Amino acid sequence: MRVGAHVSISKSPRPNDDEKPPYGDLRNAVHRQVTFGGNCGQIFTHSPQVWQDPDIDADEAEKFRTATADQLDGPWVIHSSYLVNLCTPKDGLRQKSLDSMQKEVDAASQLGIEYVNVHLGAHTGAGVEGGLDNAVSVLDDLSIPDEVTVLLESDAGSGTKLGGDFEHLAYVLRESEQDLDVCVDTAHAFAAGYDLSSADAVDDAVAEFDDVVGLEHLACIHLNDSKHACGTNKDEHAHIGEGHIGVEGMRRIVSHPDLVDVPLVLETPTEDGRGFAWNIERVRELAAEAAEV
């Protein structure tokens, strides 16, 4: 089972670090992942709240690749900056988004990371089809290394944000000249109206995804429970099995025969004395419970 968390690359301790990170480089991400009990995971290459370039030298990249190969099963995913908006009709923001994404896919190649994950963004008045066409245009202008795949992440669907409907993802996959895949965030999909709170509901949602997008394009799952009800478009993550998706839904997601080989990356909160280690162990417990039935 490939399950892990979105971990920090920081050289300094964070509140959920079990101990002071031992390295002065990106290997701290590997160390944190192992400490939490994960064997795959996700990182930001820089603060996601600002326009900033990844700052990775060749020696640091080699150490990260070696540590990953020695200690993890993989894959890693790079999550793009929150400022990236592929759907924007604004030329300046489009160019910044394109430049940022190009640097992320280049960093992924340098680090031996297979995936770069990105939200489609908001059309901000361009309309759904106009926004999706804008996203296709940006993606097609990228020079993506052969060993890297860009993943389109499902969205909670608030305001003019696109990606909450599986058809939005399918449209971009069809229209783009790039070989793209998808990352479904369970909390986002639930907030967007795809019920995942029971075994039957999960089966229905998986079947709908397969019909609209195709399971062959599902490369990663952001496994998060939701603090809000289905269809509310509110994106706030909860501990595994303790939100509105709940134990039954989460148990079916981690044991569904069409999903068991898909890497699971957690973006669950650190609160109530519990963090990534607790949630990763909970995922494994739910998978074991399902196997016993």
Residues 9 and 44: beta-carbon distance below 8 Å: yes
- Give the whole-angstrom CA distance, residue 68 versus residue 174: 33
Beta partners for residue 77, in sequence order: 42, 115
Q: Say what the pTM is.
A: 0.96
Q: How many CA atoms lie within 13 A of 283 on its CB side?
A: 30
Quick one: pLDDT at residue 77? 98
pLDDT band at 202 (very low <50, low <70, confident <90, very high): very high
- Give the whole-angstrom CA distance, residue 38 versus residue 32: 9
As a whole number, the mean pLDDT across the chain is: 96
Q: Which residues lie below 8 Å from residue 219, measured CB to CB, with a gap of 6+?
A: 115, 149, 151, 181, 182, 183, 262, 263
Give mean pLDDT, residues 125-147: 98
Most confident of 20-29, 46-55, 101-110: 101-110
Number of residues written out for the chain: 293
Domains in the chain (CATH in brackets) are: 3-292 (3.20.20.150)
User: Three-state DSSP class for 4?
Assistant: strand
Residues 57 and 45: beta-carbon distance below 8 Å: no
pLDDT band at 118 (very low <50, low <70, confident <90, very high): very high
Quick one: pLDDT at residue 71? 98
User: Three-state DSSP class for 226?
Assistant: strand
Beta partners for residue 238, in sequence order: 225
CA distances from 229 to 163, 215, 247 (A): 18, 25, 15
Closest CA to 5 of 31, 26, 36: 36
Beta partners for residue 237, in sequence order: 226
pLDDT tens-digit series, residues 35-65: 999 999 999 999 999 999 999 999 999 999 9
- Give the whole-angstrom CA distance, residue 100 versus residue 86: 11
For the chain, the maximum distance between any two Cα atoms, rounded to a whole number of angstroms, is 55
